[in-house]
Amino acid sequence: MANVTLPWLPPLPVELAVEDILKAAVIIVVALLAGRVIRKLIIRKSKETSLKWIINQDTADILFRMFVLGGAIWALYVLGIMNYSIGPTTVGNIAFAAGFFYFTYLIARKSRDYMIEGSGGEPGPDVVIRAKLFYYVLVTIAFFMALSFAGVSAQLSALLAAAGITGIILGFSAQTVVSNFISGVFMYFDKPLQIGDAVKVGDAGGIVEDIRIFSTRIRSWDGTLIRIPNEKLFNSNIVNLMRHPVRRVDIQVGIAYSTDADRAVEIIKEVLDAIPLVLAEPEPAVYISELSDSAVVIAIRAWAPSEKWFDVRTRIVLDVKKALDREGIEIPFPQRVNWFANDLRVRIEEPPEKPEGSGEGT
C-alpha cells in the first residue's frame, strides 16, 4: 500500500475504509443539522425571554460553531487522523486544546461586553475595569489549560522559565508601565473619579472621558484631549467638582466706603432669593469680609446644584451688578492717597492781558 509522508507527520495511509468515511460524513452532517436546530431554537427563545443577556444571537452562534467543530473533530477521530503523533503529543490533543481555547475566548469576550452593556446607561470605570479584568483572567487561565490539554506544558517549562527571567529584566526597564497598571488597579478600588465627572488634576481640568488600565483621558474645558498616566493621576491631588450633588459659589464684591454697607448686603440677599437655583438650605451667606485699600469687600456664599454651578455663578455676578447699579451703589476703582512730608505750594498765574485792537474776538 502506498504511503504519503509529510515532514511533520508519520506516514499516513492513502486508503481508508469506506465504512469509516461514511461514518465520518454522517457525523459531520448530524452535527451541522443539530447545530442549526439549536441555533434556531435559541434565536426564537430570545424573543420571548427576559434573559437576553445570555439567550441571544451571540449565544446561538457560539453553540452552532461548537457543534460544527465538535462534529469535525469526532469525524477525524473516526478516520483515525487524530491519533497520529506530533512530537510528544497527538493531533487530537492539539485540536481539542485549540477548540477549547477558541470557545473560551469567545465566551470571555461576550461576557465582557455583557458586563459593560448590562450596567445600564453610561458604564462607570469600576464596571469597565471589572469586565476587562474578568476577560484577561479567563483568557489567561484558558491559555494554560489549553497547553495542558495539548500535552506540551512539560516541554514548555524551560521556555517559560526563560521567559520569566526575561520578564524580570523587562520589568526593570518598564517600571513606568507596571506602575501605571498598578495605579490603575488601586484607582479602581479607591474610585476618586468616574466617567463624566468634572475634575481638576494639577494644571489640567475638564470632563473625564475614559479610564483605562494605563492612563486616563480628560476632555479639557477648551475641547482638547489630555492623557494623564495613572501613576501621575494617582499621586496627584484630584479635585472632583461633581462628586457631591451641591457645590458652593464664592464671590467677592467691593463697594465704596461712602456707601451704606448694610443696605448693600440687604440688596444682595434679595438678589439671591430671586434666583431659583440658589439653594435655601444650606442658607446663603452675605457679609462684610474685608476693609481693603479702596473698597469694602462683601463676601457672597451660596449653594447650588453641582451640574448648574457655573450657570448660577454667572447669574449671581450679573444680577448683583445690575441691582447695585440700580440702587446707586458704587463699585469703586482702585484708589491711592499720596501723602507728602511738606506742604505743597501751588502758584497760579493769570493769563496776560491782550492789547487793545488786536482784532481777536471781533
**100-157: pLDDT as tens digits:** 888 888 888 877 777 777 666 566 666 677 777 778 888 888 887 877 777 765 555 5
Please give the grid coordinates belonging to residue 194. Answer: 468616574
Confidence of residue 292 (pLDDT cuts 50, 70, 90): confident
Per DSSP, 350 falls in state P
- Asked if CATH classification 3.30.70.100 holds for the domain at 246-326, the reply, yes or no, is yes
Whether residue 145 contacts residue 169, with contact meaning beta carbons closer than 8 Å, is answered with no
Please give the grid coordinates belonging to residue 270. Answer: 434679595
298 has a pLDDT exceeding 80? yes
Position 4 scores a pLDDT of 41
Position 13 scores a pLDDT of 47
318 has a pLDDT exceeding 90? yes
Residues 240 and 192: their CA atoms lie apart, in Å, by: 8
Fold (topology level) of 191-240: SH3 type barrels. (2.30.30)
CA proximity to 336, closest of 308, 281, 295: 295
Residues 151 and 93: their CA atoms lie apart, in Å, by: 7
Position 65 scores a pLDDT of 80
Position 223 scores a pLDDT of 84
**Residues 232/234/236/241 CA torsion (nearest 10 deg):** 120
**pLDDT tens digit string along 6-50?**
444 444 444 556 777 888 788 888 888 888 888 888 777 777 766
Rounded to an integer, the average pLDDT of 243-250 is 88
**pLDDT tens digit string along 73-100?**
777 777 777 777 776 677 777 777 887 8
* Interior/surface letters 245-255, b for 16+ CB within 10 angstroms, e for the rest: eebebeeebbb
**pLDDT tens digit string along 181-218?**
666 666 666 677 778 888 888 888 888 888 777 778 88
Q: What are phi and psi of 303, to 5 degrees?
A: -100, 145
Position 14 scores a pLDDT of 43
Lowest mean pLDDT among 171-180, 203-212, 257-266, 283-292: 171-180
341 has a pLDDT exceeding 50? yes
Strands 204-211 and 215-220: antiparallel
316 has a pLDDT exceeding 90? yes
3-state helix, strand, coil in the chain (%, to 5): 50, 20, 30
Lowest mean pLDDT among 148-162, 228-242, 325-339: 148-162
Q: What are phi and psi of 203, to 5 degrees?
A: -85, -10
Position 5 scores a pLDDT of 44
Residues 212 and 125: their CA atoms lie apart, in Å, by: 8
The average confidence (pLDDT) of the chain is: 76
Domain boundaries, the chain: 16-170, 191-240, 246-326
Lowest mean pLDDT among 148-162, 194-208, 220-234, 303-317: 148-162
CA proximity to 319, closest of 261, 254, 275: 275
